[in-house]
Amino acid sequence: MTSVEEPARPNGRIRDAARTKAEILDVATHEFARAGYDGARVDEIAARTRTTKRMIYYYFGGKEQLFTAVLERSYGVIREAERGLDVEHLDPVAAIRRLAELTFDHHEQHPDFIRLVSIENIHGAEHIAASEKLGKIGSPALDVIRRILEAGQKSGLFTADVDAVDLHVMISSFCFFRVANRHTFGALFGRDLVAPAQREHYRTMLGDMVIAYLTAERAAD
Amino acid sequence: MTSVEEPARPNGRIRDAARTKAEILDVATHEFARAGYDGARVDEIAARTRTTKRMIYYYFGGKEQLFTAVLERSYGVIREAERGLDVEHLDPVAAIRRLAELTFDHHEQHPDFIRLVSIENIHGAEHIAASEKLGKIGSPALDVIRRILEAGQKSGLFTADVDAVDLHVMISSFCFFRVANRHTFGALFGRDLVAPAQREHYRTMLGDMVIAYLTAERAAD
DNA sequence: TCACTAATGTACGAACTAGTACGTTAGCTA
DNA sequence: TAGCTAACGTACTAGTTCGTACATTAGTGA
């Protein structure tokens, strides 16, 4: 996510549109994730960059469009990671487990993204709707799941008749909840779902759950 | 959640502290859930009640405390529902499935609550921390799960060594995600997770998943 | 019935906040 | 090297928003 951290080149350019834009996006991502859309302050975002508020309006147009740009870049990061998935050389069971683990890891490593998704849902996904980029591009992970599922069902290993989207929901919901609801859950039940000590436990639990579901003997239906 | 809807008693009292407080809470619940903490407007909440903004400050003290009161009441509703759980006369497998279904139903029927939880997490659960009521009261559902799990494990039906909290995470995450991320998921993947036509499918899927996990044959560990 | 207080309404202000008008300059190009 | 424009900064405003000072009244208890 962090694209800008070169430590002030000795004779660095003062003017660098790409750097300025990227820096604004970096700061805005963090600020929106921290405080929510309405809680975030344009002035605060500007103050944390090396440029001014004027530039936010110059490059992005306004607060709404800035948030949309933040979402676009954040979703871009995930899709990029998903494109790097390399699990299809494994047998279906191992492939699904590996996919679940990578999803788990990605959620854990990008809490800001999780928060942005929560925030966007509070606002009815209106920024996604307003975005041309985010409109109709599917998820590479979904294609991977689709192929693994097909292989697993064909070979008889998988008995459940889920489709790829369903399985994606199943995997994502566990990973998402653990990060997104960390605070209320911790406050109410006294267990930190993201504590390092619990990490392996939940990571394994997710894989076990998905595989158990896919391979369970089911009553004739 | 709605506590106030008596249609203006002919000779109704003008002054009714309990009714005024309840009406403010009703409206505030909806408004906070709709727009988030910072997006909600105290003036807007007041305008939608039959009283004035002055009363919000009179009864609750301020916006923060109002939000805390909203959370307290919303969590109270769930706990009340959980206290009504009556599944322990069933065998462990049926009991867990029934519990999952009731959790599923409750999430579906209380989208405002789901949104409030999302919002509270964005703010690091600081209002829960500030609340005396919400502090250390556990969940009745958790006790139910604990007992069912114990019975299932004792009888050998359940092979997984999860504790009640883990199972609660598993069930809740699926139910929560489906409602909370409905908008972004629908916008990105084109599937409405809360569409009535899909309801039974996901409801069954949740039960199958949990039972498969609990009863799966696992490698010796 | 009278007085007293809980409950309520009105009007206002101080601080904040998104957005902009206007002015300046770096650095590329002809 | 002159000039042109993208990139940038400053200072300001209009509108909003939480919160409160002050005024008022319903209804109850003595």
Over residues A163-191, the pLDDT tens digits come to 999 999 999 999 999 999 999 999 999 99
Give the pLDDT band of residue A2 (cuts 50, 70, 90): very low
User: Contact B122/A125, CB-based, under 8 Å?
Assistant: no
Of A118, A193, A216, the CB nearest to B118: A118
Flag whether pLDDT at B90 surpasses 90: yes
Instruction: For residue A193, give how far its alpha carbon lies from the nearest alpha carbon of chain B (Å).
Output: 9
Q: Are A199 and A107 in contact (CB under 8 A)?
A: no
Does position B2 have pLDDT exceeding 80, yes or no? no
Q: Within 13 Å, how many C-alpha atoms sit on residue B219's CB side?
A: 3
Establish whether the CB of B136 is closer than 7 Å to any nucleic acid atom in strand C. no
Task: Calculate how close chain A gets to B211, using CA atoms only, in Å.
Answer: 8
Cα nearest neighbour of B116 on chain A: A122
CA of B16 to C1' of C16 (A): 35
Query: Are B212 and A216 within 8 A, CB to CB?
Result: yes
Instruction: Kindly tell me if the per-residue pLDDT of A7 is higher than 50.
Output: no
- Exposure letters B145-155 (e unless 16+ CB within 10 A, then b): beebbeebbee
Whole-angstrom Cα distance, residue B170 to residue B149? Answer: 14
Predicted confidence at residue A15, as pLDDT, reads 78
pLDDT score of A161: 83
pLDDT digits (tens, 9 = 90+) for B28-79: 999 999 999 999 999 999 999 999 999 999 999 999 999 999 999 999 999 9
Phi, psi dihedrals of residue B7, rounded to the nearest 5°: -80, 65
**Paired tokens of A108:** 């854990």
Kindly determine whether the C-beta of residue B9 is less than 7 Å away from any atom of nucleic acid strand D: no
Q: Which residue ranges form the domains of chain B, and what is each CATH number?
A: 17-215 (1.10.357.10)
Whether the beta carbon of A4 falls within 7 A of nucleic chain D: the reply is no
